[in-house]
Amino acid sequence: MAAGQAGRQRFVMGGAPFSGRPAAYGRDMRDPSRLPTSPGFWRSPLRGTWFTSVLGLVLLVGITVLFVTGLVSYAAYNPDLSPVNDMTPDKGVLGFYLFAWPSGPVWLYRFTQGLHVTLGVTLVPVLLAKLWSVVPKLFTLPPARSVTHALERISLLLLVGGGLFEFTTGVLNVQLDYVFPGSFYPLHFYGAWVFFAAFLAHAALKTPTALRAVRHRVRDESELAAPCPDAPTVSRRGALGLVGGGSLLLFLTTVGQSLGGPFRRTALLAPHGTADPGGGPNGFQINKTAAYAGVTAADTHEDNWRLVVTGRTGTVRLSRARLLQLPLHSASLPIACVEGWSTADQWWHGVRLRDLAALVGYDGDPPDVLVESLQSHGAFRRAALRANQVADGRSLLALYVNGEELSPDHGHPARIIVPAAPGVLNTKWVARLTFGDL
Amino acid sequence: MPRLPLPRTVLPRRLPLGSPFPLLLLACSFALAAYAGVRLFADDWFGVALWIVGSALLHDLVLVPLYGLADRVVVRGLGAAGQRGRTPYVRVPAALSLLLLLVWFPLISGMTAQRYQLATGLSPDGFLTRWLLITAALFGGSALLLAFRVRRAAKQRPPASH
C-alpha cells in the first residue's frame, strides 16, 4: 500500500505540467551559470546536506569495517613470521598490531574476508552516489579561502583518488584482471593506509555536520543544494532507494560465492558464483589449477614424487605409499580465498602436521614450518605456518578429500590444509616441509 | 626609491590561516598518508600516481558528466513526449544494469576470460548472458510495474471524467 502510494505521489509530482522554461536554450553563452564553477550550473534537486550526510554516514561505518577486515586479513597471512609470507617487507610501523593468527574457529578467515569483499562490492553504489552528491564542490571558487581550506581540498584528492583506487584495485583483483601498476598486495595495503589517513581527517571534520543534518533533517540551506534546481523527477528518498537497491542487487548477486552450497547458484555475476568445477568429491572451487601453476603429471607421479621433511634430527624422504602408513586423521575445513569466495567445509583426510614434525625430532613441541610447493611460479609457492597452526590437530597434510584422492587441481599428491588460514597458505603439490623456528 | 601605491585589489591578499583544530588534524593525516605513500610509490611511482589522480579525474570529469548527460537525455526525451513522470521506469533499470556492468566489466566483457578459465577451471562464458538476462528482467519488471499502475489509475478514475 505504502509503496503504491509513494509511487503514485512520484507519478503526480513528476507528471506536474512541465514548466516549459527552456532552461539552457534561453541563456546567453556568456551566462556564468554555464560554467561548473557557478553554483547555478548544477541543477539536480537531489543534492543537499541531508542526502550527502546519509550516504556519508553509511560510508563512515562501511569503510571502517572494510579497513578493519583488511587489516585482519593482512594479519592472517602472518607476515611477521617469515619473509616468504610478507608481500610488504617495508611496512614499518604499519604492522604495529600484528599478532599470531589463531587456528580457530575454522570459519574465521572465511567470515572476515567474505565480509571484506562482499561489503566492498555492496558499497560501490553508495560511494558513487556520495561522490556524485559532492561533485559541485570540486569546482568551487575561490580555490582556497584559507590555508586550512587549501589543505582540506588537497586532502580530498587523496580521499577521492585513494578511495577509488582501493575499490578499483579490489574489484579488479577478484576478477583476476591484474592491470594495476604492480603487485596487488602492496598496492592495496599501502593504498588503504593513504586512503584511511584522508578518510579519518574527513570523518573527524564532517561527521558532526552529517549527524546534525540527519538528526534535524536539514534539507536545503547548504552549499551542496542547487540554487535553482530543475523540477524533480524523483524524491531524495526515492534516490536513496535507488542507491540502496543497487547495493542490494550487488549483494544478492555476490554473497553466494562466500556462502557456498546451494547459495553459490545465486551469485550470478561473482567470479566464483553459479557453478562448481566438475562434479564428484573434488568438485569444489579452485583458486589456481595445476595447469596454471605449471605442475605436470610427471612431477606428481608416484615414481618421481617424494615428500622431503627436514627438522632437528635431519631429513626424511617419504613416498606417498610411506605417508599412507602413518596415522591418518580427518578434519572438516573450508577453503577461504583472499578474493572473498570460499567453500563449505570439505572432509579432508591425511597426516597431521605435528606428526610429521615428530618424525624429524619435534615430538610434543611442534615448531613453525616452511612449506614448499612443486609449482614453478606463484607468489606463495613457498609459505610459512606458525607453531600454533602446526600444533592444531586439524592441520593436515591432506591426501584425500571427501573420501577420494586429491585431484591434480586440488594439489595431488599432497596439500596443506589449516583451519582459519587464508586459502593461499594451504599450499598444494607440497614437495618439502622444513620444521624449525623461523 | 618611492614605491608606487598599487590599488588594493591588485595586491595579493595574504591567505588567512583558518581554524587551528582542522589544521592540526590535516597535518596528522598528511603525515600518515606520506608515511604510507612513500611505500606505495616505491615501485612504480608514476603508474600509481596516474592511477590515483587519474581515477579521481576520470570519475569527476568523465563518468559523472557522462551519466548526468545520459540521465538528462532520458528526462528531456520523455518530457518532450509528455511522459516526464515516467522517467524512473527507465532510469532505475538502466542505472542498476549499468552498475552491474561497471563492477563486473572484466568478467562480462570477457577481457580476462583466458586467465579466468585457466586459473579457476570454470567457464568464462556465462557472465555476459547472465548480465543481459538480469538487464532484461530489470526492464521487464519495470515495464510490468508501469503497466500495472497505469491500469490501476485508469480503474480508479471516476467514470464521469471520461
| Domain residue extents for chain B | 44-153
Query: What is residue A28's predicted lDDT score, i.e. its pLDDT?
Result: 45
Residue A341 CA neighbour count, 13 Å, CB half: 29
B64-87 pLDDT, tens digit each: 999 999 999 999 999 999 999 999
Q: Is residue A284 part of a domain?
A: no
Give yes or no: residues A112 and A235 share one domain: yes
* CATH number of domain containing A421: 3.90.420.10
Minimal Cα distance from A123: which residue of B?
A: B103
Q: Is residue A328 part of a domain?
A: yes
Residues of A within 8 A of B44 (CB-CB) are 181-182
Arithmetic mean of pLDDT over chain A: 91
Range of the domain at A98: 34-252
Q: Is residue A368 part of a domain?
A: yes
Give yes or no: residues A64 and A152 share one domain: yes
State the greatest distance between any 2 C-alpha atoms of chain B, in Å, as a whole number. Answer: 93
Q: Is residue A156 part of a domain?
A: yes
Alpha-carbon distance of B99 to B88, in angstroms, equals: 16
Q: Is residue A7 part of a domain?
A: no
Alpha-carbon distance of B20 to A364, in angstroms, equals: 60
Q: pLDDT below 50 — which residues of chain A?
A: 1-29
A288-322 pLDDT, tens digit each: 999 999 999 999 999 999 999 999 999 999 999 99
Alpha-carbon distance of B19 to A13, in angstroms, equals: 44
Task: Judge whether A386 and A354 are in contact, CB under 8 Å.
Answer: no
Is some CB atom of chain B closer than 8 A to the CB atom of A275? Answer: yes
Query: What is residue A220's predicted lDDT score, i.e. its pLDDT?
Result: 55
Does the pLDDT at position B24 exceed 70?
yes
Query: What is residue B16's predicted lDDT score, i.e. its pLDDT?
Result: 86
String of DSSP letters for A46-81:
T-SHHHHHHHHHHHHHHHHHHHHHHHHHHHHT-TTT
* Residue A3 or B94, more confident: B94
Give yes or no: residues A298 and A247 share one domain: no
Alpha-carbon distance of A395 to A381, in angstroms, equals: 18
Query: What is residue A279's predicted lDDT score, i.e. its pLDDT?
Result: 86
Q: Is residue A6 part of a domain?
A: no
CB within 8 Å: A409 and B121: yes
Q: What is the DSSP letter of A43?
A: -
Residues of B within 8 A of A341 (CB-CB) are none
**Contact map slice: A 159-188 vs B, CB within 8 A:** 160-162, 164-165, 168, 171-172, 175-177, 180-183, 186-187
Task: Judge whether B138 and B97 are in contact, CB under 8 Å.
Answer: yes
Interface confidence, given as ipTM, is 0.90
Give yes or no: residues A244 and A323 share one domain: no
CB within 8 Å: A275 and B122: yes
Work out how many CB contacts closer than 8 A connect A with B.
Answer: 234
Query: How does B82-93 read in b/e, with b if 16+ C-beta sit within 10 Å?
Result: eebbbbbbbbbb
Q: Is residue A1 part of a domain?
A: no
The angle at the Cα of B82, spanning B141 to A9, to the nearest 5 degrees, equals: 60
Query: What is residue B10's predicted lDDT score, i.e. its pLDDT?
Result: 45
Give yes or no: residues A90 and A200 share one domain: yes
A191/chain B closest Cα distance in angstroms: 6
Residue where a domain stops, chosen among A222, A237, A252? A252
Give yes or no: residues A195 and A300 share one domain: no
Give yes or no: residues A244 and A110 share one domain: yes
Query: What is residue A1's predicted lDDT score, i.e. its pLDDT?
Result: 33
Does the pLDDT at position B22 exceed 70?
yes
Cross-chain CB nearest to B107 (options A145, A149, A271): A271
Query: What is residue A5's predicted lDDT score, i.e. its pLDDT?
Result: 38
Amino acid at A113: Q
Alpha-carbon distance of A366 to A391, in angstroms, equals: 6
Query: What is residue A365's predicted lDDT score, i.e. its pLDDT?
Result: 93
B6/chain A closest Cα distance in angstroms: 22
Residue where a domain stops, chosen among A202, A237, A252? A252
Give yes or no: residues A300 and A217 share one domain: no
Please count the structural domains in chain A: 2
A159-180 pLDDT, tens digit each: 999 999 999 999 999 999 999 9
B112-162 pLDDT, tens digit each: 999 999 999 999 999 999 999 999 999 999 999 999 999 999 998 776 554
Q: Which of A272, A384, A274 is nearest to A339 (CA)?
A: A272
B31-60 pLDDT, tens digit each: 999 999 999 999 999 999 999 999 999 999
Residue where a domain stops, chosen among A196, A223, A252? A252
Give yes or no: residues A169 and A294 share one domain: no
Give yes or no: residues A237 and A305 share one domain: no
For the CA atoms of A332, A337, A343, A349, the dihedral, rounded to the nearest 10 degrees, stands at -30
Give yes or no: residues A52 and A165 share one domain: yes
Range B102-107 average pLDDT: 98
Q: Is residue A312 part of a domain?
A: yes
Q: What are the start-end ranges of the H helices in B18-63?
A: 20-40, 45-57
Amino acid at A209: T
List of residues 6+ apart from A224 with CB closer than 8 A: A47, A48, A49, A51, A52, A133, A134, A136, A137
Give yes or no: residues A234 and A317 share one domain: no
Cross-chain CB nearest to B118 (options A205, A238, A291): A291
